Structure 1
Amino acid sequence: MRYQKLYSILFLTFSLMFFGRNPVKEIGNLQLVGTQLSDSKGKPVRLIGTSFGWSNWHPRFYNQKNIHWLKEDWNINIVRASLGIEPDGAYLQKPTENLKTLESAIDGAIKEGVYVIIDWHAHKIHPKEAKDFFDKMSKKYGKYPNVVYEVFNEPEKQSWEEVKSYAEDVIKTIRKNDPDNIILVGCPEWDQRIDLVQKNPIKGVKNLMYTVHFYAGTHGKWLRERTDEALNAGIPVFISESAGMEATGDGKFDYPEWQKYYDWMIKRNLSWITWSVSDKKETCSMLLPTASSEGNWRLPDLTESGIKTRDYLHQFDSRGQYINKFNFGGRVEKNFYNKALLIGPGSYVEFETEGKTIEVNLKSVDTYSHHNWISIEIDGKYIGRIKIDAGDAKNYKLETSSPAKHHIKLTKATEASNGYIEFDGSNINAIPFTPKSTKKIEFIGDSITCGMGNDESAFPCGKGEWYDQHNAYLAYGPVSARALGADYLLSSVSGYGMYRNWNTEKSEETILPDVYNNLFLNGNGKADFDNSYQPDIVSICLGTNDFSDGDGKKARLPFNQYKYIGNYIEFIQMIQKRYPKTQIILLNSPMVNGEKNKQFISYLNQVKDFFKNDTKHPPIEIFEFKEMTPKGCGYHPSIADDEIMANQLNPFYQKFLKN
């Protein structure tokens, strides 16, 4: 009941926030500048909105009152009016009825000051009917800056040559009456084969874009990569249909993949439309049959798709500029713009809000029930750790000194092998803020890099669980990064090495290079760790466990320098493919002393020498920690030791961050 009341308040708040908007008046005539949709002055703009369902099946939603509600409450600046063409009761059978439905939406959009896509929602080619239709539409509406023409929704098995020839004829018809408004052209195989367009685009037509459609439950990273290649080759793209479930429009949501698409569209400044404003009994429908035909929808009228889409739309201003409220860092799986799993040690979420008491919703997640720890920073000051209990998600209260605006940062203190912390910011009244643009450092390592055994504030060494002394926030990497004004990412697992682990050989257990490319730092292949972070420095501190004699009980093979050096070289080559411009720095370990440390440094130099003739990447560098006797738990650095290590690193890293 509490959340339903909160949601009702947010409905009113958002409606008042966006009331009286006129996006078309603000943006003006659309134009294409390179691959970027732009306003009348040539400045980048993004159109965001929803698509009405098929006109022949959902005509009751095609009216001005619904568009007014979508504009004022959902924050759209464009709608897509989808003229059904082939099915029973659609345009080819009942042209008069469907045209009347379509024009009701077009007229409503013009009166409301939003853009409207006139969508020829077909899967087959109908050249004569399409040319006649777009001739009428462009003559009647071509004078309005609101109008965007989509000449072919989703070609199925037609070749690009067939689609291109058809589109060129329809475009000529439109351009006789309307020389300027944006035209969208679909591509084969349900708008996934943008690569075919890239090889043979339509020539000599201005303000022409191509459509890509995605359904996150079916279309993964491959479609984003294919579209990136087309964009990089100069092909303008408009996402005129998308959603979070399977391509059938039904099935389950894939929220992590849907969020990846949103992050990608934000990064690429792509315009997007979500399918659909309809009340059909399927996952993609945003409304329930209880929803009015004249807007004023409330929470009980919306499906899960409707609620999520509306929430997404509220993250943008009238020009489609993203309004950041939650910033996630490190190894994190985002499930929504304000929800995520904090996975790796040192992974974090930061936001700004007001109030003396701030409630955050957190949950410890793993295959078995246990607790986790998270570190709290308020207004740049470290407050301490809090224990995230096992079981259902709970609200944890953070107390501040005043009701003014505060910057909150929550950092996962425990490592990935200890499970994950689920953050849900839905009930946080976050204030828009822009994260600082900083240099970036990725710290790759083992338990030393994780911050294992450094924090005895809750339990002394030997008490509690093995992870109760973990605090990645105060490990040497994050401490160093904060001192240098840099952001950080930790890719580290306790006990892991470069070619073998603390007490096991490669044949018995995965090693760090095996799990590095997995977001969850495990060997089950659950999710890829993408290369979007692109650090300025990659700091590698692996070898402590390779050199280890193990527990002294299990037989341990002699250290194999050739396997160590060979694996290290291959690992660096993989890192260079991910981050071709990054500065790679190899670290020894302050925990490895005496003769072993001399060997350690010798092997690192052999690794460095292997790359001495490499002119494509920055030269490999080596940093040597001073030997120390650690004072933390289990022969690990204490918080004070981590501070000493960071102070040693900082002058060396500072040189490379300045370049």
Structure 2
Amino acid sequence: MHRTGTAVVLAAVATLAVTTAACAAPEQQAASPLGKAHTAGRVTSTGQYSWPGVYFEGRFRGTGVGIVLNDAANDYDVQVDGVTTATLVAPGRTTYRVEGLSDGDHRVRLVKRTESPHAAGEFGGFVATSGGAVLPKPGPRTRQVEFIGDSLTAGYGNMSTGRDCSATGGVTRNTNTDLSFGALTAKALDADYQINGFSGLGMVRNYDGHTPGTSYRDYYDRALLHVEGDVWRKPPTWRPRVVVVGLGTNDFSTAVKPGEPWTPETLVAEYKTAYHGFLDKLRTRYGPATTIIVSVPDASGAFPEAASQVVRDRVALGEQRLHYWNYADPALDRLGCDWHFSARDHRLIAAKLGDYLAGLSLRW
């Protein structure tokens, strides 16, 4: 679905005492930003990333911790021992400090709430406060899930209380990918995850025909979305056993306009061909043991029919661990920005997806 402007809504929520400094002392910083931080996201070796929902997890001993960041485009949540202690709004180049904790061992999590296809964020690592220490990073979780899609997957405008969010901060301030259905589902499964959502893009056609000649498939392989030709170097540790694909809303939600290279019929045909190719790519990357779910939020129309036909065709040829999941539900209120899913909707969808996964014979 489409994107709209940005501005402000969520103020920092600090249940702990926090301060911000210009930078951390060099001797405090880890040699590598990921040396003592666990992440499952598409993050470069220098700590840069673009996709929404990227998170970093660490452990520390003492009464506080510093988080080194360089990002003037995105918003973040800081969580300590499972509790969100602050929201950082486009923090820029800074070391954000959490202080005033009881002296002991703690966990810290930094999560990117927002999309930034135009810019990269940069994580510089966790740093110790006086008298404390950053401990070895948490180990990866046994389960891994990848979510692929558009604005519905990214959690676009999910924190808004109304469909017009221009007066309450715009889309960016009203978005929290950490509360999207994908993130909620993965956390309920105690799984590491990626939320590879990109608003406005489709499998072959983008929302209302914008940016012709491009599609989601042009960006999927990247770590840094704004860098032409960038390729994410998939580590051998990233082996998701569930991949949920939700692409097609933008292809079909607006009518084909004069001058576009499709008729309604040829758009369906090209969409199905492209979907087959994209699923071939996922199978090559992740192998036959991975369960792939083609997901659709619409009850009727060209989108669900085309997506379900792709699955039926492949299953008829013998492909296993491929499923079609239609989660259209009249209970969804779509009260997020611009008729997107609300936070309530994302919770409902996560529950439905959890139930659906429980009925599959998954090989975790």
TM range (shorter): 0.7 to 0.9
Q: What TM-score, normalized to structure 1?
A: 0.46
1:656 positional shift: 4.0
Please report the RMSD computed on the Cα atoms of aligned residues, expressed in angstroms.
3.1
> Which residue of 273, 276, 279 maps to 1:572?
279
Deviates more, 1:477-486 or 1:461-470: 461-470
Preserved contact between residue 493 and residue 521 of structure 1 (Cα < 8 Å): no
1:442 positional shift: 0.4
Match of 2:43?
332
1:620 positional shift: 1.3
Q: In the TM superposition, what are the counterparts of 1:457-476 in structure 2 within 5 Å?
A: 461-463=165-167, 464-476=169-181
Q: In the TM superposition, what are the counterparts of 1:419-430 in structure 2 within 5 Å?
A: 419-425=119-125, 427-428=127-128, 429-430=133-134
Gaps of 5+ in 1: 11-306, 316-322, 365-369
1:462 positional shift: 0.8
Q: Does 1:610 align with 2:316?
A: no
Match of 2:325?
623
Q: Does 1:498 align with 2:200?
A: no
Preserved contact between residue 584 and residue 618 of structure 1 (Cα < 8 Å): no
Gaps of 5+ in 2: 1-21
> Which residue of 78, 94, 110 maps to 1:376?
78
Mapped partners of 1:486, 1:5: distance in 2: 34
- 3-state SS in 2 of match to 1:530: coil
Gap change, CA 1:326 and 1:565, over 3 Å in 2? same
Match of 1:481?
186
Q: In the TM superposition, what are the counterparts of 1:503-582 in structure 2 within 5 Å?
A: 503-504=208-209, 508-522=212-226, 524-530=228-234, 532=236, 533-549=238-254, 558-559=263-264, 560-580=267-287, 581-582=289-290
Preserved contact between residue 58 and residue 137 of structure 2 (Cα < 8 Å): yes
Mapped partners of 2:282, 2:53: distance in 1: 20
1:467 positional shift: 1.7
Gap change, CA 1:400 and 1:567, over 3 Å in 2? farther
Match of 1:409?
109
1:371 positional shift: 3.1
Match of 2:341?
637
Q: Does 1:588 align with 2:288?
A: no
Preserved contact between residue 631 and residue 637 of structure 1 (Cα < 8 Å): yes
Mapped partners of 1:577, 1:584: distance in 2: 12
Mapped partners of 2:279, 2:64: distance in 1: 46
Q: In the TM superposition, what are the counterparts of 1:330-369 in structure 2 within 5 Å?
A: 330-335=41-46, 340-364=47-71
Whichever residue aligns with residue 413 of structure 1, its letter is R
Query: CA deviation digits over 1:249-295, x for unaligned, max 9?
Result: xxxxxxxxxxxxxxxxxxxxxxxxxxxxxxxxxxxxxxxxxxxxxxx
- 3-state SS in 1 of match to 2:307: helix
Mapped partners of 1:456, 1:426: distance in 2: 31
1:350 positional shift: 0.7
Gap change, CA 1:415 and 1:454, over 3 Å in 2? same
1:605 positional shift: 2.2
Q: Does 1:452 align with 2:152?
A: no
1:553 positional shift: 9.1
Gap change, CA 1:503 and 1:407, over 3 Å in 2? same
Deviates more, 1:496-505 or 1:378-387: 378-387
1:602 positional shift: 2.2
Query: CA deviation digits over 1:318-372, x for unaligned, max 9?
Result: xxxxx9621122121121xxxx1232111111101133432212111xxxxx531
Preserved contact between residue 334 and residue 345 of structure 2 (Cα < 8 Å): yes
Q: Does 1:653 align with 2:360?
A: no
Preserved contact between residue 343 and residue 416 of structure 1 (Cα < 8 Å): yes
Gap change, CA 1:423 and 1:5, over 3 Å in 2? closer
Query: CA deviation digits over 1:422-461, x for unaligned, max 9?
Result: 111263331114324321110000011111101249xx81
Greater helix content = 1
Query: CA deviation digits over 1:539-566, x for unaligned, max 9?
Result: 001111011217x998765532101111
Preserved contact between residue 67 and residue 126 of structure 2 (Cα < 8 Å): no
Mapped partners of 2:51, 2:277: distance in 1: 23
How many pairs align?
A: 328
> Which residue of 75, 89, 114 maps to 1:387?
89
Preserved contact between residue 24 and residue 95 of structure 2 (Cα < 8 Å): no
Deviates more, 1:346-355 or 1:571-580: 346-355
- 3-state SS in 2 of match to 1:414: coil
Whichever residue aligns with residue 250 of structure 2, its letter is N
Greater strand content = 2
> Which residue of 75, 94, 97 maps to 1:397?
97
1:651 positional shift: 1.3
Query: CA deviation digits over 1:235-262, x for unaligned, max 9?
Result: xxxxxxxxxxxxxxxxxxxxxxxxxxxx
1:640 positional shift: 1.2
Whichever residue aligns with residue 412 of structure 1, its letter is K
- 3-state SS in 1 of match to 2:127: coil
Whichever residue aligns with residue 328 of structure 1, its letter is T
Preserved contact between residue 461 and residue 633 of structure 1 (Cα < 8 Å): yes
Q: What TM-score, normalized to structure 2?
A: 0.80
Preserved contact between residue 327 and residue 350 of structure 1 (Cα < 8 Å): yes
Mapped partners of 1:349, 1:477: distance in 2: 17
Query: CA deviation digits over 1:117-140, x for unaligned, max 9?
Result: xxxxxxxxxxxxxxxxxxxxxxxx
Whichever residue aligns with residue 349 of structure 1, its letter is F
Gap change, CA 1:400 and 1:542, over 3 Å in 2? farther
Query: CA deviation digits over 1:390-434, x for unaligned, max 9?
Result: 4xx112223564232111111111124152221112633311143
- 3-state SS in 1 of match to 2:340: coil
By relative contact order (CA 8 Å, sep 6+), the higher-ranking structure is: 2
> Which residue of 111, 136, 139 maps to 1:432?
136
Q: Does 1:601 align with 2:301?
A: no
Mapped partners of 1:4, 1:511: distance in 2: 40
Query: CA deviation digits over 1:166-200, x for unaligned, max 9?
Result: xxxxxxxxxxxxxxxxxxxxxxxxxxxxxxxxxxx
Q: Larger radius of gyration, structure 1 or 2?
A: 1
Gap change, CA 1:531 and 1:482, over 3 Å in 2? same
